[in-house]
């Protein structure tokens, strides 16, 4: 039987062992060396993804200010000069490159700029690898870089997602679009019109993108956000490729951003989905050593999410009221069939072609008026409608000398007369309002019960 002294000695030894075990358990893990291939890959991704994000709309998506549009750095010095030089001396482009904001992200300018960024990133990786060949890992830089990519990717998902939730990106087909033959639609217009015609579907896809963006902003839900974002972005990229939407470069790079974020989780995800092995808990490396600093960083990420959502919603509501379905409508809003038209006093002037005769007049905007010709094509003009004086003025952006001025008389809600001059000719038109609400795309709606497919 042990004596009291021996019992105390055994207790002291046990306590010392527990302390040592606890110290070993909570001691910071020693950084593991990276393989040479991993170090080189990280250097390239760091340089290329950073340059790409700074040279296009991604950086602008992080700085959302109402009524302020940021010009992409890609068209500023020195990237513009470098891109134009590359186009002329590497690709031997002789025509002027378009670098003005056209709404397309796949301009020839963009492809050549991407080539330069890729070549520069390769060269920078070689130099970096030679100068920093003794470094064993980039754990700290990788941790901060993942944070930057998470925020950048989240901002783009929130931007596009909330523009669908409102919805704004794909609007319901305009009055002129409702009249245009389907065969005249471009692939992109087909996609835009079909999605815009179903607002619930557009809102659903926007919710999926928005949710992915929100989940990416917090470390604990970032993997789930990246998985959801990958599904969203893959669908977007496939649609861009198959419907010729000029956002191919951006959507492809956003997928690369997403894959970079998921790469460290690849083994855990594989075991989770494809094996019966237990998946170890995910340990997110802290940004700082201080718990207080890490807590502050987490709060800042949450506040950034609130800021991005708030600003995008604010801008979206403004666009909805200015250009979307909530925009003001002209007093003559609608589709008007031309029942009678005379030019210089003649109802059927000699040598009058279908290109000269109007079939319909469409008032859908406060600033634009469209005329449908007999050959189904459209001519759109800038317009100014004065309800007090009952006058309509038209302008042609392609011909500054061209002008048209009319007075209008709406004898009944469904009858309209236009009298005036257009391009030097005296014009008179008798118009009748067409009830576009009876068009199938507008009136069909949703039905729970369909005894037969209604595919007309």
User: What CATH code is carried by the domain that includes residue 424?
Assistant: 2.40.128.20
| Residue range(s) defining the domain that contains residue 124 | 36-322
Its pTM stands at 0.88
Same structural domain for residues 226 and 311?
A: yes
**Per-residue pLDDT averaged across 53-64, rounded?**
90
**Secondary structure of residue 337 in the 3-state scheme:** strand
**Mean pLDDT for all residues in the chain:** 90
Nearest-angstrom CA–CA distance, 346 and 420: 14
**Per-residue pLDDT averaged across 144-162, rounded?**
97
Same structural domain for residues 286 and 338?
A: no
Same structural domain for residues 313 and 338?
A: no
Last residue within a domain, chosen from 275, 300, 322: 322
Domain count, the chain: 2
pLDDT of residue 355: 62
- 11 within some domain: no
**Per-residue pLDDT averaged across 193-212, rounded?**
97
**Per-residue pLDDT averaged across 310-329, rounded?**
92
Same structural domain for residues 310 and 359?
A: no
| pLDDT over 70 at 8, yes or no | no
pLDDT of residue 25: 41
pLDDT of residue 412: 94
**Residue of 27 and 295 predicted with greater confidence:** 295
Same structural domain for residues 249 and 380?
A: no
Nearest-angstrom CA–CA distance, 260 and 274: 21
pLDDT of residue 19: 42
Last residue within a domain, chosen from 295, 322, 349: 322
pLDDT of residue 24: 44
Nearest-angstrom CA–CA distance, 16 and 19: 5
pLDDT of residue 63: 85
Same structural domain for residues 234 and 340?
A: no
Q: How many CB atoms lie within 10 A of CB 197?
A: 18
Q: H-type helices in 186-290, by residue range?
A: 187-196, 199-216, 222-242, 248-262, 266-274
- 251-257 contacts, C-beta under 8 A, 24 or more apart: 253/49, 253/52, 254/153, 254/156, 255/230, 256/49, 257/49, 257/149, 257/152, 257/153
- Could you report the per-residue pLDDT of 349-383, keeping only the tens digit for each? 654 565 667 899 999 999 999 999 988 889 999 99
Last residue within a domain, chosen from 322, 351, 385: 322
**Per-residue pLDDT averaged across 78-93, rounded?**
97
């Amino acid at each position: 039987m042990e004596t009291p002294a021996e019992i105390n000695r055994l207790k002291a030894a046990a306590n010392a062992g527990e302390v040592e075990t606890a110290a070993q358990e909570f001691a910071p893990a020693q950084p593991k060396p990276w393989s040479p291939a991993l170090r080189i890959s990280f250097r390239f991704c760091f340089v290329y993804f950073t340059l790409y994000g700074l040279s296009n709309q991604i950086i602008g998506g992080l700085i959302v200010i109402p009524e302020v549009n940021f010009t992409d750095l890609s068209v500023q010095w020195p990237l513009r000069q470098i891109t134009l030089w590359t186009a002329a001396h590497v690709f031997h482009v002789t025509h002027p490159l378009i670098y003005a904001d056209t709404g397309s992200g796949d301009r020839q300018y963009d492809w050549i700029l991407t080539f330069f960024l890729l070549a520069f990133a390769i060269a920078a990786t070689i130099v970096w690898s030679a100068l920093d060949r003794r470094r064993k890992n980039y754990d700290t830089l990788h941790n901060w870089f993942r944070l930057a990519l998470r925020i950048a990717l989240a901002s783009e998902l929130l931007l596009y997602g909330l523009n669908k939730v409102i919805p704004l990106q794909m609007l319901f087909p305009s009055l002129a679009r409702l009249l245009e033959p389907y065969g005249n639609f471009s692939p992109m217009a087909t996609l835009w019109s079909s999605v815009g015609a179903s607002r619930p579907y557009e809102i659903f896809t926007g919710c999926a993108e928005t949710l992915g963006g929100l989940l990416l902003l917090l470390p604990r839900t970032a993997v789930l956000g990246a998985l959801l974002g990958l599904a969203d972005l893959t669908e977007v990229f496939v649609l861009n490729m198959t419907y010729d939407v000029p956002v191919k470069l951006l959507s492809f790079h956003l997928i690369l951003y997403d894959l970079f974020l998921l790469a460290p989780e690849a083994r855990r995800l594989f075991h989770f989905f494809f094996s019966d092995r237990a998946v170890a808990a995910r340990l997110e490396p802290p940004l700082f050593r201080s718990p207080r600093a890490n807590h502050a960083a987490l709060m800042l990420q949450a506040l950034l999410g609130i800021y991005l959502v708030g600003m995008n919603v604010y801008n979206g509501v403004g666009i909805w009221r200015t250009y979307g379905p909530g925009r003001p409508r002209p007093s003559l809003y609608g589709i008007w069939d031309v029942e009678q038209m005379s030019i210089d006093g003649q109802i059927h002037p000699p040598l009058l072609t279908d290109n000269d005769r109007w079939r319909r007049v469409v008032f859908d905007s406060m600033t634009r008026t469209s005329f449908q010709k007999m050959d189904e094509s459209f001519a759109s003009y800038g317009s100014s409608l004065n309800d007090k004086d009952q006058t309509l003025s038209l302008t042609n952006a392609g011909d500054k000398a061209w002008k048209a001025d009319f007075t209008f008389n709406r004898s009944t809600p469904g009858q309209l007369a236009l009298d005036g001059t257009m391009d030097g000719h005296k014009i008179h038109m008798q118009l009748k309002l067409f009830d576009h609400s009876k068009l199938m795309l507008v009136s069909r709606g949703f039905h729970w019960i369909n005894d037969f497919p209604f595919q007309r």
